[in-house]
Structure 1
C-alpha cells in the first residue's frame, strides 16, 4: 500500500513539474516572439509591436509583421518542433541517445533529391507541396538504407551500427552532393547552398499552410503512441513480452519520424542537432515518460530554432547568418560531449 502511495506521489510530482516547465517555456516563447517581431534589417520599436499585431499600425508595419516576420516565426517554430519530435522518436526506437535526423543522414537524403531536381528538372524552385514530396522521397530512401544496413540479422536494430551507418551514409551523400553541385550554374548553386545551410528559406504563407497540418497531425499521432515509445527502449524481448509488436511499431515510429524530418527540411533546409539537443534538454526537465517528454521536446525544439533564427537575423546586420549554422555552433560541441561520455561509459 505504501509503495502504491509512493508511485502516485512521484507521478503527481512529475505532472506538476511538467506543467511548470511547459508554462515557463510558453513565457520564454512570448519573450522571443516579441524579439523576433522586432528584429531584422528594419527594426520595429517595441511600442509599435502590439499595434502592428492588432493591425493598427502603418501599412509598412503591417507588411513587415504579417508578410515577412510572422511567416518566418511560425515556420521556425514548426521546423524546430518537427525536427525535435523526429529526433526524440529516433532516440527511443534505436535506444541511441545520439540519434538525430541530421546526424543519421536523413536530412542529407532529402537534400540530395532536392538538388537533383534543381539541377536537372527545374529552373525555379518547386512549389511548397512539391518540396515536401521531394524531401519525403529523399528522407525515406535514406532511412530505409540505414535500416537495412544497421539491422543485426534477426536481432533487430543495433544502435551502434545504426549510428555508424547513418554517419557514413551522411558523408557519402555529402560527397555525391558535392559532385553534383559542380555541374550547377551560379544561380542554381546559390539557391541550393542557401537551402542546405538551414536558412529557413520557405518563409511564406504557402509554406506555413503546407507545413502546419503536416507537423501538427504527425505530432498528435505520435503522442497517441507515447506508451509504445515508453516500451521500445526497454529492448525487443521485453517489449515483445509486454505484447508490443516490436518491428511493426518501430516501422510506424520511424515512418512518422521521417515524415516530420522531410517536411521540416523542405521548408527549413538542412538544420541539424535540433532533435539531439531538444530531446536531451527535455529529458532532463521532465524525465523519459513520452506523454510528457514529447510535448516538451516539441516546445524546446520550436523555441531553439526560433532563438537561433532571431540571433542569426540580429547579430550580423545588415547580413544574416543561416539558422542552421547557429544551431550547429551550439549542437556540435554537445554532440562531441555525448560521444566522449558514451565512449567512456563503454570503456569502463
Structure 2
C-alpha cells in the first residue's frame, strides 16, 4: 500500500470514528422520555431554554454522557499501554486484576469504616487508585524475571491474583448491610454511578495529562512492543520505561474504576479494534484507541439505558457482552 493510500485510509478511519461518536452522543442526549430538539439545544447553549429542559440536559444527561465517554477513553488507552509493555495481546486492566484490586479496597473500607464521616464520593477515587496500584505492583513483582516482564507470566499471575482478590472481596461483601452490598455489587458490575460535573472535570484533566504523556512515549511503546533483546539493543531502558508506562496505565484505569466501577473487556477490545484499523504504530494507534474507546462506551451506555427502559442495565454487562465474543476469538486464534 502506497504512502498516499495509507494516509487516505487513516483519515477515513478517523472521520468515521468521529462521526460515530457524534451520532452516539446525539442519540444519548435524546435517550429518555423527554426528547431535546436541535433548536432547544441551541437555545440552551446560548443560555436560554426552559428550566426543566436545561436541568435534564445539563445536570442529568451531559454529565452521564461525558463520564461514560471519558471512562471508555481511559480504559482503552490503559489497555493499549499494558498490551504494549507486556507484549501480550490479551493483557488489559480487568484481566490483570487491577479492577478487582480497586473493588477490594472499596469493599474493605465499607466493612472497616461503616459509619464514615467523609463522603464516599471523595474517598472512592483514592481507594480505587490505591487498590489498583497494590494489585498492579503485585502482578509486576510476580511476573518479573531476569529479562524484565514475562508476558505469559504477567497474564497468568494477573488471572490468579484477580481470582484471589475477587474471592476476598466476595467474603467481605457478605459482612456488609444490604444497602452497601448493593452499592458494591453494582460498582463491580460496572455502573456509571459518579456521573457529575466534578468527576467529569477530574477525569478530563487527569486523562488529558496522562494521555498526552502516553502519546509522547509512543516511540518508546513501539520499541517496547518488540522483543526484550531487540528493545535493549535499540538502547531502551526497558525496566524503567515499563514501570513508568505501567504507572500511567494504572492511574488511568484506577480513575476510571472509581467512577465507572469494574468494567471489563473495554481495555482489551478497543486497542485490538484500533490496531486492525490503523496498524501497530503507537503514534497513530493511541489516538485511534481514544476514539474506539469513546465510541464503544458511548453506545454501551446508550444500550444500557434504553434496552430495558425504564430499568437500566449496568453498562459493564453491556460492554462485556460486546467484548466477550472478541476475547473468545483471540483465545481460539492464539
What band does the TM-score fall into relative to the shorter chain? over 0.9
Contact 1:119–1:188 under 8 Å retained in 2: no
Kindly indicate whether residue 184 of structure 2 is the aligned counterpart of residue 192 of structure 1. Answer: yes
Q: Which residue of 2 aligns with 1:145?
A: 138
Report the alpha carbon displacement of residue 127 of structure 1 after superposing the two structures with TM.
Answer: 5.0
Q: Distance in 1 between matches of 2:121 and 2:198?
A: 7
Kindly indicate whether residue 242 of structure 2 is the aligned counterpart of residue 250 of structure 1. Answer: yes
Q: Which residue of 1 aligns with 2:152?
A: 160
Q: Distance in 2 between matches of 1:129 and 1:221?
A: 26
| CA pair 321-296 structure 1, distance change in 2 beyond 3 A | same
Q: Distance in 2 between matches of 1:24 and 1:136?
A: 34
Report the 3-state secondary structure (helix = DSSP H, G, I; strand = E; otherwise coil) of the residue aligned with 2:146. helix
Q: Distance in 2 between matches of 1:185 and 1:129?
A: 21
Contact 2:104–2:169 under 8 Å retained in 1: yes
| CA pair 129-173 structure 1, distance change in 2 beyond 3 A | same
Residue-by-residue CA offset, 1:297-325 (whole Å, 9 max, x unaligned): 01110111111001110111110001100
Contact 2:29–2:36 under 8 Å retained in 1: no
Report the alpha carbon displacement of residue 122 of structure 1 after superposing the two structures with TM.
Answer: 4.6
Report the 3-state secondary structure (helix = DSSP H, G, I; strand = E; otherwise coil) of the residue aligned with 2:262. coil
Q: Which residue of 2 aligns with 1:346?
A: none
The partner residue of 1:78 within 34, 46, 70 is: 70
Q: Which residue of 2 aligns with 1:116?
A: 108
Residue-by-residue CA offset, 1:160-217 (whole Å, 9 max, x unaligned): 1111111111111111011000100011111111211111000011111221111111
The partner residue of 2:34 within 19, 43, 48 is: 43
Which deviates the most, 57-66 or 124-133? 124-133
Report the alpha carbon displacement of residue 53 of structure 1 after superposing the two structures with TM.
Answer: 4.6
| CA pair 89-161 structure 1, distance change in 2 beyond 3 A | same
Q: Distance in 1 between matches of 2:6 and 2:255?
A: 32
Aligned residues: 332
Equivalent runs, 1:215-230 vs 2, <5 Å:
215-230=207-222
Which deviates the most, 230-239 or 153-162? 153-162
Residue-by-residue CA offset, 1:229-276 (whole Å, 9 max, x unaligned): 001111111111111100011111100010000000001111110111
Q: Which residue of 1 aligns with 2:55?
A: 63
Report the alpha carbon displacement of residue 67 of structure 1 after superposing the two structures with TM.
Answer: 0.2
Kindly indicate whether residue 13 of structure 2 is the aligned counterpart of residue 28 of structure 1. Answer: no
Report the alpha carbon displacement of residue 52 of structure 1 after superposing the two structures with TM.
Answer: 4.2
Contact 2:78–2:267 under 8 Å retained in 1: yes
TM-score, length basis structure 2: 0.95
Q: Distance in 2 between matches of 1:16 and 1:228?
A: 26
Contact 1:198–1:324 under 8 Å retained in 2: yes
Contact 1:286–1:292 under 8 Å retained in 2: yes
The partner residue of 2:81 within 80, 89, 92 is: 89
Report the alpha carbon displacement of residue 281 of structure 1 after superposing the two structures with TM.
Answer: 0.6
- Give the aligned CA root-mean-square deviation in angstroms: 1.6
Which deviates the most, 204-213 or 126-135? 126-135
Which deviates the most, 228-237 or 78-87? 228-237
Report the 3-state secondary structure (helix = DSSP H, G, I; strand = E; otherwise coil) of the residue aligned with 1:72. helix
The partner residue of 1:263 within 239, 255, 266 is: 255
Kindly indicate whether residue 115 of structure 2 is the aligned counterpart of residue 132 of structure 1. Answer: no
TM-score, length basis structure 1: 0.91
Report the 3-state secondary structure (helix = DSSP H, G, I; strand = E; otherwise coil) of the residue aligned with 1:234. coil
Report the alpha carbon displacement of residue 20 of structure 1 after superposing the two structures with TM.
Answer: 2.0
What are structure 1's unaligned runs of at least 5 residues? 1-5, 343-348
Which deviates the most, 72-81 or 112-121? 112-121
Q: Which residue of 2 aligns with 1:331?
A: 323
Q: Which residue of 2 aligns with 1:106?
A: 98
